[in-house]
Each structure stands twice: as structure tokens, then as C-alpha cells.
């Protein structure tokens, strides 16, 4: 005998019932099939709404009632040939009349007791089983439909009644042996008490009906047919890359379901486990998929962690007080108070100091728990030996499940490290001594992220997904997106990184797509994006709460630089070519560095100095490996280099500056370059990264620009440069006279920083520097005489973008 159960989605439409029929017909004729059906998908919810509205005196309930009737009548008409519809139709109409009568009663009395609700909910399964039985009959299948209420006996706990197995097993066995049909059809979920009053087994309880029947007849197997291809490593509605668990033990399946894997109703496993009946979870819509086998022994070398699950609506209760220390019986009284109220405890933790005990319960019981516990400890609370019960709401539990975790140390370490890296705060932890599950209580808002982080950690070792938010899509940002696009495949294959650009934004708009923006076409989508401000952008990134988030700032905006702090504090990495934050006052710079460490994230700004050249990275490596910076000499302005390399007196200085601006080598306001301020900022950042506590006003600037050029508008700046051409010419002539080139040099010598124009002779390391190149010479304890030299293009969108790209990868691999 095989017991099969088809869930709500498997019987939602005529088409899906067609799949069910095929599956039944595909079974060997020699096997008897005991088949349990749920209500048509969504019906139970509708029935609850119906009862609730009637009880509220809302006569709209009649609309729902007629919808339910219409859906079932239509289904009969679609499934069964016209000549044979009669009995099924009249059965549905009789059931709907009965339901209508009950609802009228509820409407008049304005009262919906749990007992009446069970009666109302029972119609879903009664109708679906009747229809499918008629369909099988019309196909000539030798079948019989029985009302499960006559077989399954429960107590009076309406809405989630407990089964009386002794009576139930006896009745099922008798019924199955008295009736010889090859297919027996049962409505799931419904049962009755000893007085034949209808009860139900709890939401999702049709699985349980099937398990009860399977255990009673010692079936050879139980098959749970649903809308997914088995039990998955996580809830497929939360995680994209879930995998089917092909083989799992009863214990593991039970833990997963208990902690929220909705695919099987938790009590289902117990009866089949005690009879060692194997359970298959199969997909009605893809019957050829293997599915999941649940049984007692799972082959060796099975995965250490089998799956993870989560469920919401948790409240944490904390009983605390000095009066609890060392006195036995406190926890007993706490649990007694809860159990007297029939409140189920989901998770328990007690610190070894015994100063407090913490339990997690279903949020619906919060108020009742509070008053029951405070009543139980009334005297101790009055004597201030125990605090009134504290409650924390809007929490969830996430659980990692696997029989083999006990023999593999370090699993919980990995679990909490992964959560920590993503800024997920843990409110409580429990690990049963059986070590089949490690669970943690977190806030509801973090669930999706947590489940994804853990899934990645334990099941997707092959790939890590990075979620990138890009602010600023001008020259540099545009190039970055182009480069990311071109490298996507390489990164997946070589570095196992899946870089998902989830948002692009400019100062006005944002375009977001959680599954990752198509990088070939972001411009058009951004056009259609929604309006945003910097604050909105920040709130948005935090609220999205995606794992492995990286914020990339390609702007030069002070406002954008302001949001780093809030992001870093949420463990969101910041990668930026914007110099404002790293060159702001020292306290701010140090604070950002400090929270980066505290929140275990990255704040990377390699492109602040020398664009894509590995200047800061090299300096960091020197420092980390114990070297010391003695002196830095550098040409850090691509602009000034360009200008002095091209200014030979044959055309005016102003013209050369204009060319640099037109070719995109200058800051939007070229005076920032010409004044040396931009170089000061870069030197400041290098000095700080080299360990010096420094602010910008401590850097000497021996500028060369006449004051008149530096006031007013950019136009005035060009005008004044023309006026002062002789000044520039004189500087050039003097250098030529001495056979030197002009370089704007930044230097840091024993902690003393300065920038300014210098005469560089042909023997000097800085002499041969062309175009917009930068060069940095590091003189250190290990490179005392011959410096470590980094040289190459120090400006331009392409190289800057590649520097940002490298930082994104660095952040991803933390
Ligand atoms: P049925 O109506 O067939 O009883 P349910 O809706 O009760 O189906 O359960 C199946 C659903 O459970 C799936 O569609 C899936 O979204 C959800 N689910 C949650 N966690 C898991 C998991 N770990 N594995 C498979 N499905 C899961
Ligand atoms: N129809 C019931 C419910 O929706 C039982 C089930 O589908 O398992 O909860
Ligand atoms: Mg279900």
C-alpha cells in the first residue's frame, strides 16, 4: 500500500488535477493507493475570511461564499463529462448550502468559536475530495471516498486537535480492510472528536492526515506531492540558488520543518518515523524529478549541514534577577506558567550565570505569557528579586540543521562569523545537546539577508554573490559598469564571485533590480528610474539589507561622502574615488577607519591617489608587513604634469591648461589642480595611511599661481592666466636655464609634508615623466637608498574605473 497526499496547489485547477490523475494512473496496478487531498489552493484562507466577516456582521461574506461555490461547480464541469456530473454537482451544492447555513448562524450571532471555525474550514477538504473522487470514478477507476472525520479521532483542541492514535489506528485499519477498492480517497486536515464534532489538525494538516493513515496501515511508503521538487536547502521563496536535498533523515526533516520549512507540516514525521516508513517529497508538476527521500538512515559522507530554515513572529521573553541565582525551581515555575496557558516554548537559553533565562515563543501568545509569568513571580517581583518579564518582539528564528554537525567542530563559528560579517545582530542562540540544529534569534528585518548569507556560506561555496550599489554614472561610473559587464563571466569562473550590480543612481534618479541589473542596458533603465536624493539612497541601501553589499561612490560630492558612516555601521563596504572623506579632518577619517574595523567591513579608496595605480594598496602592504615610511616623494597631479610637459613657451600657459581641461584631466574646477590643493589632499591621504596624524593645514604649499588667477569665476581664471603669461614664461625660462624640468612635487619627509613646483635635473627619478603620468617614490626602512617606485597613468576614466573595480573585488573577498 502506498499513501499519497496532494497539496492545495496540486489540486488548484482542472489542469493540475489532470497531473494528479496521471500520477495515480502511473502507479503499478498491483498497489493499493490511499490518497489524501488538501482543499483547492487558497480555499482554507477564503473559508477563514468568510467566517471572520460573517462574525463581524459584514454581509460581504456572501460574495466570498458564492465565489467558493462557483469555483467548485466550475471545476466539476471542467473535469467530468456532462452526463456524469450530476452526483458531484449535487454533492457540492448540498455542502455549500450547509456551509451557507452555518455562516448565517455566525452572522446572526456575531460569534465565531474555534469549534465553528473548524466546521467552516472542513468544507474545503470535503469538497475537493468529493470532486476528485467523482473524477476518478468517471475514469472508471475502482475507488471509494471516505469522510476522514469518521476515522481520525482527536481531542477537543479545536483548530489544532491532538490525535487519539489508539482509536484512530483501529478505525483506519478496519476501514481499509473492510473496503477492497484499489484507490481510497480521503479529505485531509479534517477529523472529529469522540462526539463526532468536527475538528481540524492545524494549518497544513493534510500532510499529517496522510502520515497518520500511512502509519496505521504500515504503508510501504508515504508520498507528499507538492509544487516544488522536494525539500530544499532553504525556503525557495527567500533564496534563489536553493538545491534539492536528495536524502535526509527523519530527525533532520523534523528539525527543518519545526523551524519553518513549510513544505511539510511538522507533526507529520513522527507517526511515519516510529513505523520506519520512508517518505518521498515529490513535485506534481515535475513527477520525473527525483525529489527528496526521508528515512532513518542517511548514507555516510552526507553533507554536514543539510538545510536551513527560518520562521517569523517570534517574541523573546527574558526573566532576569539576582533572586534567580543558585535557587533551583525558577525555570520550572517559568515553564509551568507558560504551559498552564498552553504556550509552546520554541527555544530556550540560559546563561551560565543563571542571572537570566530566555525563551522564544510564538508572538500571538505575547500578552498572555506576560501576564501569566508576572503572576507566577508576583512575590519575587514585589520583593525586587526578579524583574517583571521583559519582552522583545518582531523577531525570527533561523536554524541550521544537520545530523553530522556534532562531529564537525566549527560549524557554529562559521555560522556566526558569516552573520557578523553582514552586520546581523544575534539576540539569542540555542544549540540542543543533540547538536542536530543550531538556532539563532534575529530581528525579522534581517531574515532574508541572514538566510541568504548562511545559504551562501554552507551551500554555495562555489559562488559568492556581491550586491553592488553604484552612485555616480558619469565618465568613471560609466566605465566601471562597462568593465564589470565585460568581466562578469571571468569573475564567476576564476574568482567564484557573482557581482550583482543591484542599483545605479545619479543625483536625481535610481534604478534598482534585486536580481541584478542588465549591464548592457543600464542607461535606458536609469532614465525610467525613480526619483531619489542622497538621503533616500542611503536609506534605501540600508533598508534593502542585502548580503555582501558594497556601495561605490563615483561622485565628487560632499553630500555622498556623508553617508559612508551610516553604511559602514551596517557592515556595508564603501569603495570610493571621492577624496572628500579620506581628506576631511583627521577625526572624521580616523572615525571611519575605526568603524570599518568595528563592523568588520571595508572602506577602500585606492583611486584617491594615482587613479588606478596601486599606491595605497602598496603602502598598506608595506605597513602591514612591518615596514616604516621614511620619505615619500611624488608627482601626483596628472593635470600639472600634463601642463608642464606641454608648456614650452610656444603657446600661452592658459591654452595648455584649457587643453588639459578639454581632454578631461582636470577636476571640474581646474583651479583645484593648479593651486596644488588636489595634490595636498592626496599627500594628506598617503601620510595618514603611512600612520601620521595630520590635517591639511599642516602641509606647506609653495604654489606658483598668481593670486589674481585664483579668485572669481573659472572664466576669470583663464583671463587672468593670459594676463600673467610673462610670470609663467619666467618660471619656464629659469628651469630651462638650469637644464631642469618643472614638476609639482609632493613630499613627506619624517612627518613633514609639503607640495610645490621644483626644478628637477635629468638625473632625478622624477625627471622622466610624460603625459599625465604620476610617480610615487617610497623610501622606507627596507627601501632606504633605492626607493620603491610606482609609476604610470595617474588620471583618466578608464584607469580610475579599473582601480575602483579592484577595490570592489578586494571588498568582496574580505
Ligand atoms: P502544499 O499546498 O502542497 O501542502 P505548501 O505550500 O504547504 O504546499 O508547501 C510547499 C511550499 O513550501 C513550497 O512552495 C515552498 O515555497 C515552501 N517551502 C518553504 N521552505 C521550503 C523548503 N525548505 N523546501 C521546499 N519548500 C519549501
Ligand atoms: N487546507 C488546509 C490548509 O490550508 C490543510 C492543508 O492544505 O494541508 O491549511
Ligand atoms: Mg502544506
Tell me the best of 200, 205, 226, 262 to mutate to test the pocket of ligand 2, counting ligand atoms within 8 Å of each CB and taking the most: 205
What is the CA(162)–ligand 2 centre distance, in A? 16
Which grid cell is 73?
Answer: 461547480
CA 39 to ligand 2: nearest atom: 1
- Set of cell numbers at residue 598: 568595528
Q: Which of 4, 5, 7, 8 to mutate to test the pocket of ligand 2 (most atoms within 8 A of CB)?
A: 8
Q: Give the model confidence (pLDDT) of 69-108 as tens digits.
A: 999 999 999 999 999 999 999 999 999 999 999 999 999 9
CA-206 nearest atom, ligand 1: 4
Residues in the chain: 814
Angle between helices 43-55 and 61-79 (to 10 degrees): 150
Per-residue confidence band for 300, with pLDDT thresholds at 50, 70 and 90:
low
Please write the tens of the pLDDT for every residue from 761-801: 999 989 988 888 899 999 999 999 999 999 998 888 899 99
How far apart (Å, rounded) are the C-alpha atoms in residues 759 and 738? 8
Q: What residues are labeled active site? A: 682
Q: Could you tell me if the CB of 294 is within 6 A of ligand 1?
A: no
State the burial class of residue 255 (Cβ atoms within 10 Å of its Cβ: 0-12, 13-18, 19+): buried
236 lines ligand 1 (CB under 6 A): yes
Q: 262 C-alpha to center of ligand 3: Å?
A: 6
Q: Write phi, then psi, for 153 (nearest 5 degrees).
A: -105, 135
- Ligand showing the shortest atom-to-Cα distance for residue 4: 1
Relative to the CA of 230, which ligand 1 atom is closest? 25
667: CB partners within 8 A, 6+ apart: 556, 639, 673, 678
Cα 462 to ligand 2 centroid, rounded to whole Å = 37
State residue 352's pLDDT score: 62
> Is the CB–ligand 1 distance for residue 45 below 6 Å?
no
- Alpha-carbon gap, residue 462 to 708, rounded angstroms: 61
- pTM of the full structure: 0.74
Q: Which atom of ligand 1 is nearest to the CA of 284?
A: 3
C-alpha span between 548 and 356 (Å, rounded): 34
How does the average pLDDT of the chain come out, rounded? Answer: 93
Contact 632, 774 (CB under 8 A): no
Q: How big is the chain by its Cα radius of gyration, in Å?
A: 36
pLDDT band at 18 (very low <50, low <70, confident <90, very high): very high
pLDDT digits over 462-492, tens only?
678 899 999 999 999 999 999 999 999 999 8
Tell which residue, 313, 275, 243, 679, has the closest CA to residue 461.
243
Q: Is the CB of 263 under 6 A from ligand 1?
A: yes
Answer whether 8 contacts ligand 1 (Cβ < 6 A): yes
β 573-576/603-604 pair status: parallel
CA 236 to centroid of ligand 3, rounded, Å? 14
State how beta strands 221-226 and 279-283 pair: parallel
- Please give the grid coordinates belonging to residue 512: 534598482
∠ CA 445-451-457 to the nearest 5 degrees? Answer: 135
Distance 266 CA to ligand 2 centre (A): 13
- How far apart are the C-alpha atoms of 387 and 374, rounded to whole Å? 9
Quote the cell numbers at residue 307. 538545510
pLDDT tens per residue across span 123-163: 999 999 999 999 999 999 999 999 999 999 999 999 999 99
pLDDT score, position 658: 95
Q: Cell match 587672468: residue?
A: 720
Amino acid at each position: 500500500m502506498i499513501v499519497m497526499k496532494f497539496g492545495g496547489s496540486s489540486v488548484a485547477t482542472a489542469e493540475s488535477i489532470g497531473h494528479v490523475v496521471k500520477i495515480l494512473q502511473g502507479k503499478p496496478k498491483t498497489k493499493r493507493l490511499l490518497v489524501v487531498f488538501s482543499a483547492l489552493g487558497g480555499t482554507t484562507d477564503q473559508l477563514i475570511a468568510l467566517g471572520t466577516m460573517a462574525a463581524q456582521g459584514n454581509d460581504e461574506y456572501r460574495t466570498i461564499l458564492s465565489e467558493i461555490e462557483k469555483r467548485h461547480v466550475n471545476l466539476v464541469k471542467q473535469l467530468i463529462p456532462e452526463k456524469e456530473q450530476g452526483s458531484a454537482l449535487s454533492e457540492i451544492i448540498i455542502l455549500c448550502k450547509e456551509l451557507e447555513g452555518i455562516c448565517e448562524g455566525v452572522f446572526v450571532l456575531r460569534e465565531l468559536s474555534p469549534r465553528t471555525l473548524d466546521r467552516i474550514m472542513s468544507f474545503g477538504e470535503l469538497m475537493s475530495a468529493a470532486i476528485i473522487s467523482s473524477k476518478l470514478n468517471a475514469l472508471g477507476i475502482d475507488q471509494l471516498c471516505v469522510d476522514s472525520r469518521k476515522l481520525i479521532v482527536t481531542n477537543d483542541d479545536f483548530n489544532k486537535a491532538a490525535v487519539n492514535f489508539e482509536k484512530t489506528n483501529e478505525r483506519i485499519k478496519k476501514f481499509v480492510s473492510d473496503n477492497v477498492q484499489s484507490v481510497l480517497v480521503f479529505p485531509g486536515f479534517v477529523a472529529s472528536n469522540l462526539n463526532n464534532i468536527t475538528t481540524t489538525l492545524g494549518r497544513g494538516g493534510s500532510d499529517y492526515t496522510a502520515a497518520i493513515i500511512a502509519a496505521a496501515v504500515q504503508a510501504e511508503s508515504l508520498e507528499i506531492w507538492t509544487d516544488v521538487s522536494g525539500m530544499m536547502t532553504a525556503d525557495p521563496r527567500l533564496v534563489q540558488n536553493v538545491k534539492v536535498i536528495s536524502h535526509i533523515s527523519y530527525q533532520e526533516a523534523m528539525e527543518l520543518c519545526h523551524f519553518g520549512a513549510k513544505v511539510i507540516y511538522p507533526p507529520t514525521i513522527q507517526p511515519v518515523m516510529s513505523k520506519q516508513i520512508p517518505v518521498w517529497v515529490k513535485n506534481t508538476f515535475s513527477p520525473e524529478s527525483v525529489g527528496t527521500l526521508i528515512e532513518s538512515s542517511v548514507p555516510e559522507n552526507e553533507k554536514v549541514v543539510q538545510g536551513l530554515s527560518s520562521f517569523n513572529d517570534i517574541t523573546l521573553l527574558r526573566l532576569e534577577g539576582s533572586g534567580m541565582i543558585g535557587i533551583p525551581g525558577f525555570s520550572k515555575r517559568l515553564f509551568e506558567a507558560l504551559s498552564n496557558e498552553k504556550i509552546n516554548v520554541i527555544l530556550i537559553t540560559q546563561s551560565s550565570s543563571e542571572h537570566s533565562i530566555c525563551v522564544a515563543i510564538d508572538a500571538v501568545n505575547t500578552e498572555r505569557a506576560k501576564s501569566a509569568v508576572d503572576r507566577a513571580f508576583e512575590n519575587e517581583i514585589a520583593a525586587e528579586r526578579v524583574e517583571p518579564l521583559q519582552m522583545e518582539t518582531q523577531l525570527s528564528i533561523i536554524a541550521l540543521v544537520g545530523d553530522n554537525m556534532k562531529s564537525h567542530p566549527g560549524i557554529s563559528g562559521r555560522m556566526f562569523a558569516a552573520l557578523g560579517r553582514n552586520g546581523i545582530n544575534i539576540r539569542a542562540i540555542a544549540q540542543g545537546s543533540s547538536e542536530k540544529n543550531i538556532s539563532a534569534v534575529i530581528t525579522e528585518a534581517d531574515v532574508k539577508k541572514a538566510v541568504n548569507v548562511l545559504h551562501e556560506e554552507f551551500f554555495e561555496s562555489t559562488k559568492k554573490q556581491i550586491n553592488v550599489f553604484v552612485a555616480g554614472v558619469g565618465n568613471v561610473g560609466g566605465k566601471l559598469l562597462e568593465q564589470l559587464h565585460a568581466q562578469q563571466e571571468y569573475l564567476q569562473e576564476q574568482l567564484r564571485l557573482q557581482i550583482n550590480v543591484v542599483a545605479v543612481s545619479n543625483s536625481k534618479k535610481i534604478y534598482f533590480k534585486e536580481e541584478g541589473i542588465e549591464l548592457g542596458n543600464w542607461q535606458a533603465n536609469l532614465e525610467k528610474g525613480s526619483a531619489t536624493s542622497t538621503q533616500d539612497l542611503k536609506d534605501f541601501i540600508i533598508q534593502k539589507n542585502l548580503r555582501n553589499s558594497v556601495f561605490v561612490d563615483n561622485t565628487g560630492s560632499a553630500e555622498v561622502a556623508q553617508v559612508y558612516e551610516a553604511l559602514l555601521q551596517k557592515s556595508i563596504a564603501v569603495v570610493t574615488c571621492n577624496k572628500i572623506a579620506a581628506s576631511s579632518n583627521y577625526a572624521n577619517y580616523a572615525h571611519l577607519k575605526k568603524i570599518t574595523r568595528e563592523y568588520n567591513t571595508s572602506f577602500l579608496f585606492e583611486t584617491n591617489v594615482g587613479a588606478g595605480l596601486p599606491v595605497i594598496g602598496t603602502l598598506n602592504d608595506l605597513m602591514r608587513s612591518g615596514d616604516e615610511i621614511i620619505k615619500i616623494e611624488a608627482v601626483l597631479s596628472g593635470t600639472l604634469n600634463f601642463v608642464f610637459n606641454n608648456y614650452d613657451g610656444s603657446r600661452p600657459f592658459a591654452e595648455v591648461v584649457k587643453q588639459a581641461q578639454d581632454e578631461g584631466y582636470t577636476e571640474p574646477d581646474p583651479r583645484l589642480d593648479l593651486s596644488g590643493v588636489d595634490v595636498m589632499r592626496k599627500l594628506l591621504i598617503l601620510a595618514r595611511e603611512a600612520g601620521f596624524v595630520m590635517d591639511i593645514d599642516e602641509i606647506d604649499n609653495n604654489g606658483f599661481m598668481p593670486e589674481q588667477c585664483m579668485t572669481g569665476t573659472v572664466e576669470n581664471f583663464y583671463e587672468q592666466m593670459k594676463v600673467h603669461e610673462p610670470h609663467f614664461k619666467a618660471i619656464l625660462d629659469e628651469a630651462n636655464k638650469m637644464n631642469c624640468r618643472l614638476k609639482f612635487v609632493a613630499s613627506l619627509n619624517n612627518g613633514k609634508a609639503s607640495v610645490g613646483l621644483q626644478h628637477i635635473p635629468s638625473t632625478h627619478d622624477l625627471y622622466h615623466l610624460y603625459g599625465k603620468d604620476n610617480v610615487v617614490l617610497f623610501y622606507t626602512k627596507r627601501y632606504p637608498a633605492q626607493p620603491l617606485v610606482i609609476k604610470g597613468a595617474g588620471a583618466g576614466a578608464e584607469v580610475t574605473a579599473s582601480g575602483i573595480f579592484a577595490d570592489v573585488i578586494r571588498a568582496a573577498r574580505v
